């Protein structure tokens, strides 16, 4: 078992060299857009298209601007973009079939910005690591103006150590601009770290070093830390008996509030509207109070045990969680964004690392064998792996997968600063 992480290093480039890197990105992305037109015209947005078949179709376009190896890498970038697009469509991240947003996405080819990242392989990029400095070295890199040699790189020593030992596959070149528009070049490499090495490695890269938080409907927050999960479920979960302030079950209260709201809305009289307003204020105070207590408890526990916190990236949470009708109203009335915000600022205040992970497949991946399938989750509450038979509460599996994804998300967010 290995864990995939990404490692970033910054390149030290002279003005002339930066110009070459930038025009390389522009040229490669023009070629990528041309190949993308071809891919789209051949149905790549709807069905699988292999890198090889795209290569065949786009060859004439690409050979006008790029030599053999860069053109191959550009095609693979385009093919990968379409398989991501198809996955996003499948997961409903652009809305339901037939929705406006989705139709707009499906109607035109994937477009690459002129400065979009470009993949490199060992033929176009080579590394020379410094034997004495654990954070530095040089690279030699292909550009449209010829090969640039002895370009210095610098990164965080822990990340560079992983880069030296376990770099795998392609590396992306990307250029970021600061507030004043000044460009800095980065290389983003993928490393395959053996699980055993992670345990001995820097604390923050160990999945055990993270508390994963799954935000759900029945249970507002479930953590990968089992005792903490049990405590939170007992206080704020669907079966909670001792809710905050002796109010009883949180979910029962949410349901009651919802019913009352519907009744008042139907009535529509002036006094009903006034009452509705008062109720909704009271309800949002209650939600804020619960969110404060939950976030406070999670951050305190992470801090006490020296771990980071990982939560889902909330973009698209509604698409991800497909709800049965009666749950829909209670879910949308709960402030998940607020809980995330409370977690973020309390973690920042206490110096606890906060990672935001892509929620894709966190409810579908088996934490025992890795098998990922929609059918692993027969209902909202159950997880049952169709490959190995592993059975667990679905929210706990979600929280575990979020913790599992944390190291990579964290590595991506800890870019060496351009300063
Ligand atoms: Zn399994």
Residue 246 pLDDT class (50, 70, 90 cuts)? very low
One DSSP character per residue, 54-110 reads HHHHHHHHHTTT--HHHHHHHHHHHHHHHHHHHHHHHTTTT-STT-HHHHHHHTS--
Q: How confident is the model at residue 238 (pLDDT cuts 50, 70, 90)?
A: low
* 3 state SS for 164-181: HHHEEEEEEEEEEECCCC
Q: Are residues 394 and 329 in the same domain?
A: yes
pLDDT of residue 240: 64
If asked whether residues 334 and 296 sit together in one domain, one would say yes
Q: Phi/psi at 120 (nearest 5 deg)?
A: -125, 150
Residue 367 CA to ligand 1 centre (angstroms): 7
Mean pLDDT along residues 255-260: 77
Say how many Å lie between the CA of residue 365 and the centre of ligand 1: 8
Is position 418 within any domain? no
Percent of the chain with pLDDT over 90: 37
What is the model's pLDDT at position 245?
43
Q: Report the separation in Å between the CA atom of 405 and the middle of ligand 1, taken as the mean of its atom positions.
A: 17
On whether both 106 and 139 belong to a single domain, the answer is no
Ligand 1 center–CA 354 separation, angstroms: 28
Q: How far apart are CA 337 and CA 315, in angstroms?
A: 10
> What pLDDT, in 10s, does the model give residues 10-62?
999 999 999 999 999 999 999 999 999 999 999 999 999 888 899 889 988 88
* C-beta of residue 136 within 8 angstroms of C-beta of residue 157: no
Q: Does an H or E element contain 96, and which?
A: none
Q: What is the pLDDT of residues 324-344, one digit of tens each?
A: 444 444 444 457 778 988 998
356-382: average pLDDT: 89
For the chain, give the number of residues: 419
Task: Tell whether the model's pLDDT for residue 402 goes beyond 50.
Answer: yes
Q: Which of 37, 48, 36, 40 shows the shortest CA–CA distance to 106?
A: 40
Q: Is residue 191 part of a domain?
A: yes
Task: Pick the more confident residue, 394 or 248.
Answer: 394
Beta strands in 1-49, from DSSP E residues, in sequence order: 2-12
Give the contacts of 347 (CB within 8 A, at least 6 positions apart).
299, 302, 309, 353, 354
**Pick from 148, 177, 204: which residue ends a domain?**
204
Q: Work out the number of other CB atoms within 10 angstroms of the CB of residue 197.
A: 14
> Nearest-CA neighbor of 229 among 289, 291, 298?
298
How far does the centroid of ligand 1 lie from the alpha carbon of residue 402, in Å? 16
Same domain as 340, residue 290: yes
CA of 330 to the centre of ligand 1 (A): 32
From the number of C-beta atoms within 10 Å of its C-beta (0-12, 13-18, 19+), residue 60 rates as exposed
pTM over 0.85: no
Q: Are 201 and 160 in contact (CB under 8 A)?
A: no
CA of 102 to the centre of ligand 1 (A): 33
Query: Is pLDDT at 348 greater than 80 in this prediction?
Result: no
Confidence of residue 198 (pLDDT cuts 50, 70, 90): low
Domain that holds residue 9: 2-13+119-204
Instruction: Tell me, yes or no, whether 314 and 394 share the same domain.
Output: yes
Q: Is the pLDDT of residue 321 over 50?
A: no
C-alpha 332 – ligand 1 centre gap (Å): 31
Residue 47 lies in a domain: yes
User: Cα 219 from chain centroid?
Assistant: 22
Residue 334 lies in a domain: yes
Q: Are 124 and 144 in contact (CB under 8 A)?
A: no
pLDDT in tens, 130-150: 888 888 999 999 999 999 999
* Residue 190 forms part of a structural domain: yes
Confidence of residue 310 (pLDDT cuts 50, 70, 90): very high
Residues 409, 376 share a domain: yes
Residues 105 and 125 in one domain: no
pLDDT tier, 249 (very low <50, low <70, confident <90, very high otherwise) = low
Per-residue pLDDT, 206:
46
Q: If you measure from the C-alpha of residue 369 to the centroid of ligand 1, how many angstroms do you get, rounded to a whole number?
A: 4
Q: Which of 53, 88, 118 is the last residue of a domain?
A: 118
Q: Are residues 228 and 330 in the same domain?
A: yes
Predicted local distance difference test score (pLDDT) of residue 226:
92
pLDDT at res. 413: 58
SS3 of 260, please? Answer: helix
364 CA distance to ligand 1 centroid (A)?
10
Q: Does residue 266 share a domain with residue 172? A: no
pLDDT band at 201 (very low <50, low <70, confident <90, very high): very low
Residues contacting 198, CB < 8 A, separation 6+: 3, 205, 206, 207, 407
Q: How far is the CA of 384 from the centre of ligand 1 (A)?
A: 8
Flag the least confident range among 85-94, 216-225, 386-395.
85-94
Residue after which a domain boundary falls, among 178, 204, 230 = 204
Task: Fill in the DSSP letter of residue 209.
Answer: G
pLDDT the model gives residue 319:
42
pLDDT of residue 412: 63
Specify the pLDDT at position 191. Answer: 83
Is residue 113 included in any domain, yes or no? yes
- The Cα diameter of the chain in Å comes to 79
Considering the domain boundaries, does residue 419 fall inside one? no
Same domain, 248 and 340: yes
User: Do the Cβ atoms of 387 and 347 come closer than 8 Å?
Assistant: no
Please give the pLDDT value at position 1: 54
In a domain, 403, yes or no: yes
Question: What percent of the chain is helix, strand and coil (3-state, nearest 5)?
Answer: 50, 20, 30
CA–CA gap between residue 172 and residue 178 (Å, rounded): 19
Quote the number of domains for the chain.
3
Please tell me the distance between residue 329's alpha carbon and the centre of ligand 1 in angstroms. 33
Whether residue 115 has pLDDT greater than 60: yes
Residues 187 and 213 in one domain: no
Same domain, 346 and 404: yes
Ligand 1 centre distance from Cα of residue 208 (Å)? 19
User: Residues 273-308: pLDDT tens digits?
Assistant: 888 888 888 888 888 899 999 999 999 999 888 788
């Amino acid at each position: 078992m290995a864990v995939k992480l990404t490692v970033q290093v910054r390149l030290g480039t002279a003005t002339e060299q930066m110009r070459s890197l930038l025009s390389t990105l522009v040229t490669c992305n023009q070629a990528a857009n041309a190949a993308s037109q071809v891919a789209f015209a051949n149905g790549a947005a709807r069905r699988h298209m292999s890198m090889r078949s795209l290569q065949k179709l786009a060859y004439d376009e690409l050979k006008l601007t790029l030599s053999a190896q860069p053109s191959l890498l550009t095609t693979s970038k385009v093919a990968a973009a379409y398989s991501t697009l198809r996955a996003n469509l499948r997961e409903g991240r652009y809305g339901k079939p037939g929705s406006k947003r989705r139709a707009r996405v499906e109607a035109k080819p994937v477009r690459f910005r002129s400065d979009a990242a470009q993949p490199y392989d060992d033929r176009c990029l080579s590394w020379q690591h410094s034997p004495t400095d654990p954070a530095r070295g040089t690279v030699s890199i292909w550009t449209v103006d010829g090969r640039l040699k002895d370009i210095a790189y610098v990164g965080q020593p822990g990340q560079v150590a992983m880069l030296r030992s376990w770099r795998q596959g392609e590396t992306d070149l990307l250029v970021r601009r600061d507030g004043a528009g000044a460009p800095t070049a980065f290389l983003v490499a993928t490393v395959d770290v053996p699980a055993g090495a992670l345990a001995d490695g820097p604390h923050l890269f160990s999945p055990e070093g993270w508390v994963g938080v799954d935000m759900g409907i029945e249970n507002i927050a479930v953590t990968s830390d089992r005792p903490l999960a049990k405590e939170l479920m007992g206080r704020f979960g669907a079966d909670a008996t001792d809710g905050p302030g002796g109010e009883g079950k949180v979910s029962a209260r949410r349901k009651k509030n919802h019913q009352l709201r519907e009744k008042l809305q139907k009535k529509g009289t002036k006094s009903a509207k006034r009452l509705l307003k008062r109720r909704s204020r009271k309800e949002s105070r209650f939600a804020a109070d619960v969110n404060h207590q939950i976030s406070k408890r999670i951050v305190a526990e992470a801090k006490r045990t020296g771990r980071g916190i990982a939560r889902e990236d909330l973009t698209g949470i509604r698409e991800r969680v497909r709800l049965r009708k009666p749950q829909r109203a209670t879910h949308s009335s709960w402030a998940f964004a607020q809980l995330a915000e409370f977690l973020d600022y309390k973690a920042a205040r206490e110096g606890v690392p906060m990672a935001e992970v892509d929620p894709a497949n966190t409810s579908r991946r088996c934490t025992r064998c890795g098998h990922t399938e929609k059918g692993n989750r027969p209902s909202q509450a159950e997880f049952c792996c169709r490959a190995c038979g592993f059975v667990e509460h679905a929210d706990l599996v979600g929280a575990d997968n979020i913790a599992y994804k944390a190291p990579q998300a964290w590595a991506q967010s800890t870019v060496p600063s351009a300063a």
